[in-house]
Amino acid sequence: MTSLSVLAVDDVPPALDELCRLLRESPEIAEVSGAGDPLSALRMIQSGRFDAVFLDISMPGLDGLELASLLAKLSEPPAIVFVTAYEQHAVAAFGIGAVDYLLKPVRTERLADALARINRVVPPARSAPEQLPAPPPDSMAALPVESAGRTRYVRRTEVLFVEAHGDYVRLHAVSGVHEVRMPISRLEDYWEPAGFIRVHRSFLVALDAVRELRSDSVGGLLAHTELGDVPVSRRHARDLRERLLAAARSGRLDRSERRI
């Protein structure tokens, strides 16, 4: 194959630009796309076919190893090449099924080796499938939380609401309060389809975790959950009320899946 379509993923813009430049200079590649974060990469992969994905490992929220594990579940997964500054993840990378593991800065000859490996594993050009696309992988059903050298995975179904705290978010879950380094806006993108909505510039809440709406001492609105009250700003109050009403009418406030 001499007409590969590839996607490069790196959250550092200069590194992404350099990797895309190197890939575009390779004669085996017909098309190069770039993504600056894992969520964007997932959306691009769901909407189009790539022969290979070149992944950075160290990215906030969802790292390259976790993204590669999700991609491996697709019906026609792309070949994965990791591009990283760290050697210690090589064993895990090949355990996931990576085709190659490139260290930064990427040398032209090593990139050529990686492309040769991709050509050996990618099947001949496939005709466009006349079928429904595979359902998108659930990219953030659990979040890794690092503490004292250990990694714990906090399931989304445990979390009732999320609070922004600088560069971190605090997950208020039945198992406790957990901090994850990620902007709340990015987590909102990941979890909004699962029923988490923005109710304040610093808070997300799970619709099925809201037991009632209350007024505070100064006339503000609070969304009451079993783990405490969540402030609701005026600009989000109407949307929350409408979403709760629609969820109640459709029966989507059933809490059977939430771990309370």
DSSP E strands: which ranges in the chain? 4-9, 29-35, 52-55, 79-84, 100-103, 142-147, 150-155, 159-165, 168-173, 176-181, 196-200, 203-206, 212-215, 221-225, 228-232
The pLDDT, as a whole number, for residue 132 is 43
Please state, in angstroms and rounded to a whole number, the distance separating the CA atoms of residues 66 and 96. Answer: 9
At 102 the three-state DSSP class reads strand
The pLDDT, as a whole number, for residue 254 is 57
Q: What is the mean pLDDT of residues 19-27?
A: 93
The model's pTM: 0.53
List of domains in the chain: 4-121 (3.40.50.2300), 143-250 (2.40.50.1020)
pLDDT in tens, 205-221: 999 999 999 988 888 89
pLDDT in tens, 150-190: 888 899 999 999 999 988 999 999 999 999 888 898 899 88
pLDDT in tens, 49-106: 899 999 998 887 778 888 888 888 888 889 999 998 877 777 676 777 888 998 889 9
At 165 the three-state DSSP class reads strand
The pLDDT, as a whole number, for residue 141 is 83
pLDDT in tens, 99-148: 899 888 999 899 999 999 998 888 765 434 444 444 455 557 888 888 77
Type of residue numbered 74: L
Mean per-residue pLDDT over the chain, rounded:
85
